[in-house]
């Protein structure tokens, strides 16, 4: 069945360093890969997404790369700041407009940025 | 523009009872999806509704059901509550669903005693 693995489950970095979170998916029909950030006690919020026709996408300090052949995608955060501390969830599913695919989330990565 | 609103914010129930949770999407959004969040399992997809029709559902027992009204508001019902149903239940809305940004509500924290 569909599955999304996410590693590492916890990550601690020094402020200013980079952080990388990796996700692997099983359903080859998946073509939409968003990343959500959930700060403690708050709702998840989309921070970046990528579609299967693109290999990389950047938004300021955040970037996502996709390797569709290997079925994995990664979140890269550069120059980390304390406010980047949160749980990050990846997801993988299809974006067919004629139906609705199950949204499969990874188990999450708790990122701590140490000042 | 008002965000996604979920009520109630907290619920305490006992085993065997049933519960109804409500979700009001962002104005103009027609897709509402529901998720169960627990510390060990992350975010688990329950089901999604669009124009009052359930388009897909996750791997949850039939005790979990939902519906959507003509104004796109959605309700989720859990019958015969079990201790393991204790979780944060989140709903999210988007304009049409697939491949779009999900806007999450603050969730309903359900505790089953």
- B chain contacts of residue A42, beta-carbon cutoff 8 Å: 106
Nearest-angstrom CA–CA distance, A20 and A86:
14
- The single-letter DSSP state of residue A96 is -
- The single-letter DSSP state of residue A93 is B
Beta-carbon separation of A100 and B104 below 8 A: no
Share of chain A above pLDDT 70, in %: 94
Average pLDDT value for residue range A78-87: 97
Tell me the CB-side half-sphere exposure of residue A2, using CA atoms within 13 A. 18
pLDDT at A43: 96
Band of residue A64 on the pLDDT scale cut at 50, 70, 90: very high
Chain B: nearest CA to A115, how far in angstroms? 26
Cα–Cα distances (Å) from A87 to A21, A42, A64, A77, A93, in that order, read 11, 10, 16, 13, 20
For B45, name the nearest residue in chain A, comparing CA atoms only.
A103
Instruction: Answer whether residue A1 shows pLDDT above 60.
Output: no
Beta-carbon separation of A46 and B102 below 8 A: yes
For A32, name the nearest residue in chain B, comparing CA atoms only.
B99
Mutate to test the interface with B, among A32, A40, A51, A100 (most CBs of B within 10 A): A100
Nearest-angstrom CA–CA distance, A104 and A111:
21
Residue B84 sits at φ, ψ, to 5 deg, of -70, -5
pLDDT at A97: 58
Nearest-angstrom CA–CA distance, B107 and A17:
33
Q: What radius of gyration do chain B's Cα atoms show?
A: 13
Beta-carbon separation of B56 and A96 below 8 A: no
DSSP structure string for B49-86: EETTEEEEE-S--TTEEEEE-TTS-EEEEE-S--GGG-
Of B42, B100, B106, the CB nearest to A89: B42
* Secondary structure (3-state) at A72: strand
pLDDT at B96: 81
Q: Strand (E) positions, chain A?
A: 4-7, 10-14, 19-25, 32-38, 45-51, 56-59, 62-67, 72-77, 86-92, 104-105, 109-114
For A109, name the nearest residue in chain B, comparing CA atoms only.
B42
Band of residue A102 on the pLDDT scale cut at 50, 70, 90: confident
Average pLDDT value for residue range A56-61: 96
Q: Which residue, B113, B112, B110, is CA-closest to B35? A: B110
pLDDT at B104: 97
| pLDDT by 10-residue block (mean), chain B, 113 residues | 92 97 96 92 91 92 97 97 97 86 96 97
pLDDT tens readout for residues A26-51: 988 888 999 999 999 999 999 999 99
């Amino acid at each position: 069945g569909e599955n999304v693995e996410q590693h590492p489950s916890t990550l601690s970095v020094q402020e200013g360093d980079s952080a990388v979170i990796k996700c692997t998916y099983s359903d080859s029909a998946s073509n939409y890969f968003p990343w959500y950030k959930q700060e403690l006690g708050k709702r998840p919020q989309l921070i970046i997404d990528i579609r299967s026709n693109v290999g990389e996408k950047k938004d300021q300090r955040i970037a996502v790369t996709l390797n569709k052949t290997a079925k994995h995608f990664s979140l890269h955060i550069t120059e980390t700041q304390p406010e980047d501390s949160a749980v990050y969830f990846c997801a993988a599913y299809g974006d067919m407009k004629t139906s609705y695919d199950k949204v499969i989330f990874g188990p999450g990565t708790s990122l701590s940025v140490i000042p | 523009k008002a965000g996604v609103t979920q009520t109630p914010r907290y619920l305490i129930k006992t085993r065997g009872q049933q519960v109804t949770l409500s979700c009001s999407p962002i104005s103009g959004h027609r897709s509402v999806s529901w998720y169960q969040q627990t510390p060990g399992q992350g975010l688990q997809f329950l089901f999604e509704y669009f124009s009052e029709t359930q388009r897909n559902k996750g791997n949850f027992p039939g005790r979990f059901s939902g519906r959507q009204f003509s104004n796109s508001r959605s309700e989720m019902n859990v019958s015969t509550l079990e201790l393991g149903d204790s979780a944060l239940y989140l709903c999210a809305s988007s304009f049409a669903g697939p491949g779009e940004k999900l806007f999450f509500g603050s969730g309903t924290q359900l505790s089953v005693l």
